[in-house]
Amino acid sequence: MQQAADPLTVLSGQDSTQAGNYFVSNYPPFSVWHKGKTGSALERLSRHGDSEKPLGLYVHLPFCRKRCDFCYFRVYTDKNHSEIEEYLSAVLHEASILGRQAFVQDRTLDFIYFGGGTPSYLSSKQLVRLTDGLRSALPWNEPSEIAFECEPGTLSERKLRAIRGFGVNRLSLGVENFDDAILAANNRAHRSKEIYRTWEWLGRAGFEQVNIDLIAGMIGETDEKWARTVGETVGLAPDAVTVYQMEIPFNTTIYRGMREEGADAAPVADWPTKRRWTREAFDALEANGYHVGSAYTAVRDSSRIRFVYRDELWDGADMLALGVSAFGYLDGVHYQNQPHMRPYLDSLASSALPVSRALPITAQEAMIRQFVLKMKLGHLETRPFLDRFGVEVTERWHDVLVLFREHGLLAFDENRIDLTREGLLQVDRLLHAFFLPEHTNIRYA
């Protein structure tokens, strides 16, 4: 079987942080989705979906106090109250159109994710207006998870009560770092005092699960400062901790600076250092009773804490997309909404769904998508791939798995693949060895 990339080349990749996407969040790569396939998403929405398959909803709220220098999402920092209200009206109109599609009929939402941008940038009144409207337009009954991203400086105790009131049971706090100089150097809006103030409010709010996000390798990071950030996180004892390793996609402020200066490598730590820092964070968390459950997450109580959005989506769940630039998945069809505000609003003004690009995928691509995403959990059972796709994955990729085993990155037999800690810390670069040849050596996004 021809492989996508020479596994030895994958293993000998650049140590310095180069511009481009590192984090593998989907497959096939976003760069092969295109406008000519938008009809496939609209056609799929017009047909009944599988009522036995989980259905999720992603809502993109693209407003922020500041744009972080490492941010690559669609965000706006210049919108006034009336413009935000116009956007919310468009999102609710989009939801009403989606709610009438055959694909949604006789189904209920299993999980909902509010991402951004900064969802908590909205006022309490705006959030209640949005969620009340979504409940009316879509089959929002009793989803098992409602996840909501927050930036500490946008919160108040009153707003947290409102967020809790519309059913959020997984709140993710974008801390990133506890060092004020690092937060400033990366153009992050909040400072450490806002983290601690918010944590007091959270202690009284009663959320079922609170996650803290950290980023290993921000501009200005040092061993000493990272150790302090890890120590402060352990001291707060959140239910879950997510640690990302800093990447520099092309549409970031950092990359624009690199391009202007003619720099090849980003002004951040190299990959071996970021992997070491992530390992140190995981070691410290495990020493305090946490369990590492993926390449990025550790949880205090794995019998209670789940991340439904991640687990269901990585297992092939359907997901509706709401908002500018939002991504969705419809039973084998990837799609993305209009990536800029005005085209998005104009589409909804004419009552048209704002799909900008899509990609219907083959059964083989669906199998690879599920394989590479579930590998990020650090362990993978092979039987579901045989049952669902008729593929013995350890036979298909036997040579690659043997090579990775020889380098101490994983262990496997016919029933299971288990990544070692070293493999887990660099899983995103390993995954390219499982891509189809046509998806190798192209831009990911």
Overall average pLDDT of the 291-318 stretch: 96
Q: Is the pLDDT of residue 389 over 70?
A: yes
* Strands across the sheet containing 379-381: 379-381, 416-419, 410-412
Q: Is the pLDDT of residue 11 over 90?
A: no
Overall average pLDDT of the 338-358 stretch: 98
- What percentage of the chain exceeds 90 in pLDDT? 96
Q: Please name the helix (run of DSSP H) or strand (run of DSSP E) that holds residue 243, with its range, or none.
A: strand 240-245
**Binning pLDDT at 50, 70 and 90, where does residue 9 land?**
confident
Overall average pLDDT of the 351-372 stretch: 98
Cβ-Cβ contacts under 8 Å for 98 (sequence gap 6 or more): 45, 104, 137, 138, 320, 322, 353
One fold for 1-27+362-445 and 30-312: no
Q: What is the per-residue pLDDT for 7?
A: 85
Q: Is the pLDDT of residue 168 over 60?
A: yes
What digits encode the pLDDT tens for the residues 173-209? 999 999 999 999 999 999 999 999 999 999 999 999 9
Q: What is the per-residue pLDDT for 1?
A: 43
Cβ neighbours of 437 (radius 10 Å): 10
Overall average pLDDT of the 76-94 stretch: 98
Q: Is the pLDDT of residue 339 over 60?
A: yes
291 burial via Cβ count (<10 Å: 0-12, 13-18, 19+): middle
The verdict on domain 30-312 having CATH code 3.20.20.70 is yes
> Between 225 and 4, where is the model more confident?
225
Q: Is the pLDDT of residue 5 over 80?
A: no
CA dihedral for 370, 372, 374, 379, sign (positive or negative):
positive
**In angstroms, what is the C-alpha Rg of the chain?**
21
DSSP state, residue 296: S
Overall average pLDDT of the 265-284 stretch: 97
**Cα 129 to Cα 124, 323, 408, distances in angstroms:** 9, 15, 52
Which residue, among 127, 318, 82, has the nearest Cα to 135 in the 3D structure?
127
Overall average pLDDT of the 73-99 stretch: 97
This prediction has a pTM of 0.96
CATH fit for domain 1-27+362-445, picks 3.90.1200.10, 1.10.10.10, 3.90.1570.10, 1.10.10.920: 1.10.10.920
**Binning pLDDT at 50, 70 and 90, where does residue 4 land?**
low
- What percentage of the chain exceeds 70 in pLDDT? 99
DSSP state, residue 248: B
Cβ-Cβ contacts under 8 Å for 42 (sequence gap 6 or more): 353, 355
Q: Is the pLDDT of residue 2 over 50?
A: no
Q: What is the per-residue pLDDT for 13?
A: 78
Place of tokens 């995103």: 428
Asked if 56 contacts 313 with a C-beta cutoff of 8 angstroms, the reply is yes
Q: What is the per-residue pLDDT for 8?
A: 78
What digits encode the pLDDT tens for the residues 47-71? 999 999 999 999 999 999 999 999 9
List beta partners, residue 34.
358
> For the chain, what is the mean pLDDT?
96
SS3 (DSSP) at 37: helix
Q: What is the per-residue pLDDT for 3?
A: 52
3-state helix/strand/coil string of 178-198:
CCHHHHHHCCCCCCHHHHHHH
Cβ-Cβ contacts under 8 Å for 386 (sequence gap 6 or more): 392
- The domain ranges of the chain are 1-27+362-445, 30-312
